[in-house]
């Protein structure tokens, strides 16, 4: 699992654009009060903080994608996955090495 986050102002801009595309209708409970909570800076900051805390509590890495291209983000995710796989291999090899020396 990898968390993706971004600057609150960037997220608000994305959400405002989305609201213009879909209109200010209630979309499955996500857009309330004509979209004000959906784009309210304090509400967005709280939402992003909650997500960061969730990732931290689970030990998941977080990538800030505010100024990254999709390709850069994907490359970072692949690097994180490769590093995780290497740690898993090392952890599996360590008990075998300990058993061989006993």
State the Cα–Cα distance between residues 95 and 22, nearest whole angstrom.
Answer: 55
State the Cα–Cα distance between residues 81 and 85, nearest whole angstrom.
Answer: 6
Contact assessment for residue 51 and residue 3, using Cβ atoms and an 8 Å cutoff = yes
Residue 38 burial (C-beta neighbours within 10 Å; 0-12, 13-18, 19+): buried
The pLDDT value given to residue 24: 64
The pTM score is 0.72
**DSSP code of 66?**
T
**DSSP code of 69?**
-
Could you give the 3-state DSSP secondary structure of residue 26?
coil
Residue 85 has pLDDT above 70, yes or no: yes
Extract the tokens encoding 35: 């979209």
Could you give the 3-state DSSP secondary structure of residue 5?
strand
**pLDDT tens, residue by residue, 38-72:** 999 999 999 999 999 999 999 999 999 999 999 99
């Amino acid at each position: 699992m990898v968390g993706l986050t971004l600057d609150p102002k960037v997220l608000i801009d994305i959400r405002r654009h989305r609201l213009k595309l879909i209109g200010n209708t209630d979309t499955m409970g996500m857009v309330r009060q004509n979209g004000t909570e959906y784009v309210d800076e304090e509400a967005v900051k709280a939402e992003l903080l909650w997500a960061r805390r969730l990732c931290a509590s689970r030990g998941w890495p977080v990538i800030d994608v505010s100024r990254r291209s999709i390709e850069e983000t994907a490359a970072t995710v692949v690097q994180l996955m490769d590093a995780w796989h290497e740690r898993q291999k090392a952890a599996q090899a360590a008990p075998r090495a300990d058993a061989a020396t006993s």
